A and B are shown apart, each in its own frame.
Chain A
C-alpha cells in the first residue's frame, strides 16, 4: 500500500531535488545530465555578478514588505468589523461576496486587472475625470507596478484570509464580553481589552508564518501582469527563473537561481519557526 505513495514522492519530489545538481553543470539537453560539463559554481557566480541579481532580490523583498504592510493587516480589520455586525444575514452575505475573488482563476483576475488599469480602463478614467490625474496605462509605468500588484492582492485575498480571524474571535469566551459590558466597557474598550488579546496568539502565528515567506513571491501573477517595460520593478526571483529557464532554455543557470531561492526560503522559514516556538510554544514542526 505504501509503494504507490513512496513512488509518487520519489518520482515527482525527490527526483527533481536530485535534479538540482544541474545547477552545477553547463547543462545541455541533448547531452543529458551525465554528458554535460561540470562547471562548479559558475552558474551561481554568473547570477550574483549579473545586473538582474540585485533587481530581482530587491523586488522580491520589497514586494513582500508591501504585502506584509498592506495585505496582512486588512483581514484582521475585516474580521473585527464583521464581528461588530449585528445582522446575521448581512454578515453572511458580505462574507460570501468577499470570499469569491479567491476562487476565480489567476488568469481571469489578471485579465480584469489589466483591463481596469488600461488607459481607457476604469481606474485611470476615474483618476482622470474625478481627480484630474492623467496616469495612462498603470501597468506600463514601472514605478506603479508594485502598487497595482499589492492593492489587487487586497481584492484577491483579504476577504478570504479573514476567515481565520473570524474563527478566532468566535472562540473567545462570551462571558468575557458580558463581564466587560457590566464593568461599563464600550465598543473600543471591549476591542482593546477582550477581542484583541483574544486573537493575539492567532495574529502572532499568522505573522510569523508570513515572515517565513519573506523571500518567496508567486510567479503566476507576475508573469501574467509584467511586460518588458516593467521588468525592472516587477521581476521577482521566481519569474526570473521561469524566464531564464523555460523561455530562454538556460536550464543550469535558472536551476542555480531557483536553488538559491529555495535555500534562502528554507533558512528564513526555519528561523521564523524557531521564533514561533519560542514565543508561542507552537511551530510548523
Chain B
C-alpha cells in the first residue's frame, strides 16, 4: 500500500515536471509560431484580431509580395551571404593560423603573444576608437568592414588552440622529421585532425555573421550594401515605410509586413537549427573544458 502511493506520487511528480518543461518550451516557440501564422494571414482579419493566434487567419501572400516588392530583400540576402561565406572562410583560416602559432612554445615571444591575444578578451578600446580606426583605414561603406575587424574571435580561437594542443606531439614531430614545412604541417596534418572543432567554429562564425547588424549599422551607408538584418531593422524597429504605397490600408499592411520581415529573418535558422544543433552544443562543451 505504502509502496503503491509512493509510486503514484512519483508518477504525478514526473507528470508535473513534464508539464512545466513543455510549458516553457511552448513559451519559447510560440512567439516565433505567432509571427509565422500572422505573416500568412489575411490582413483584414489580422487587424481585427487581438490576443493569441493558434492558426493563420485565412491565407494570403500579400505581405510577402509587398515586402519583396518594396524592400531589396534579395540584395540583402546576397550581401549577407557574401559576408557569411567570405567572412567565415577567412575567420576559419586566420583562427587556424593563430591557434597553430600560439600553440607552439618554440615560436619566439610565445608567452607574450598568447597574453596579448587573451588580454583582448578582457579589455578593449571599445566602440568609438574601433570605429575611428575602421574609418581611418577607409573601410567605411565597405563590406570588408563587416569582416576584417572580427577576423578572429579570440574565444573561438582558444577552443581551436586547445584542440591542437591535444594532438599527440609525436605526429607533428615525425612529420617534421620527414621534412614537412610549417604550412604543409598545418594544412595536411593539423587541419584534418581538428576537423570536428573546425566544424563547430564554422557554425558559430557563420551564425554570428548571419545575425550581425550593429557593425553594418555603423559602418555601411549605402543601402545597396545593407545586409538582411539591417533591412529588417528598418522595418521592425524603425519607421516601416514598406506599406506607404497602400494609401488608406497603410496600417493594415504595416503590421502584416512586419510579421513577414520577422519570418524572413527567423525561418532559415528555425529550419536549419535542429540539424546543426549538435555542433553548437559541442561548442559549449569545448569552451567549458577550456575553463
Chain A residues within CB distance 8 Å of chain B:
1-2, 4-6, 8-9, 11-20, 22, 78, 81-82, 84-87, 90, 93-94, 96-101, 103-108, 110-112, 114-116, 120, 122, 125-126, 129, 155, 158-159, 163-164, 167, 186-187, 205, 219-220, 224, 238, 241-242, 245-246, 251, 254-255, 258-259, 261-262, 265-266, 269, 282, 284-285
CA distance A101 to B125 in the complex (A): 30
Within 8 A of A (CB), among B93-130: 94, 97-98, 100-102, 107, 113, 116-118, 120, 122-130
CA distance A84 to B18 in the complex (A): 9
Partner of B17, one of A85, A261, A269: A85
Partner of B101, one of A1, A100, A114: A1
CA distance A86 to B281 in the complex (A): 21
**Judging by beta carbons under 8 Å apart, are B151 and A100 in contact?**
no
CA distance A241 to B124 in the complex (A): 14
| Stretch of B27-35, B67-75, B170-178 that contacts chain A | B27-35
How many residues on chain B are close to A (CB under 8 Å)?
A: 85
CB-defined contacts of A22 to chain B, threshold 8 Å: 128-129, 132
CB-defined contacts of B101 to chain A, threshold 8 Å: 1-2, 5
Within 8 A of A (CB), among B27-46: 27-29, 31-32, 34-35
Q: For the complex, is B214 an interface residue (Cβ under 8 Å from A)? A: yes
**Judging by beta carbons under 8 Å apart, are A100 and B18 in contact?**
no
**Judging by beta carbons under 8 Å apart, are B50 and A104 in contact?**
no
**Judging by beta carbons under 8 Å apart, are A107 and B120 in contact?**
no
B211's nearest neighbour on chain A, judged by CB, is A105
Number of A-B contacts (CB under 8 A): 242
Q: For the complex, is B213 an interface residue (Cβ under 8 Å from A)? A: yes
CA distance A108 to B222 in the complex (A): 22
Q: Could you give 10 example pairs across A and B, Cβ below 8 Å? A: A5-B101, A18-B129, A84-B14, A104-B270, A108-B229, A110-B236, A164-B288, A241-B128, A246-B131, A258-B127
B118's nearest neighbour on chain A, judged by CB, is A285
**Judging by beta carbons under 8 Å apart, are B126 and A20 in contact?**
yes
Partner of A111, one of B98, B118, B237: B237
CA distance A12 to B94 in the complex (A): 14
Partner of B265, one of A82, A94, A105, A205: A105
Partner of B237, one of A110, A164, A266: A110
Q: Given A13-B120, A94-B22, A120-B50, are A111 and B129 neighbors across the interface (CB < 8 Å)?
A: no
Q: Given A2-B101, A16-B133, are A82 and B21 neighbors across the interface (CB < 8 Å)?
A: yes
A130's nearest neighbour on chain B, judged by CB, is B51
| Stretch of B56-64, B81-89, B189-197, B272-280 that contacts chain A | B272-280
The 4 closest A-B pairs by CB, nearest first: A16-B125, A111-B236, A19-B129, A105-B211
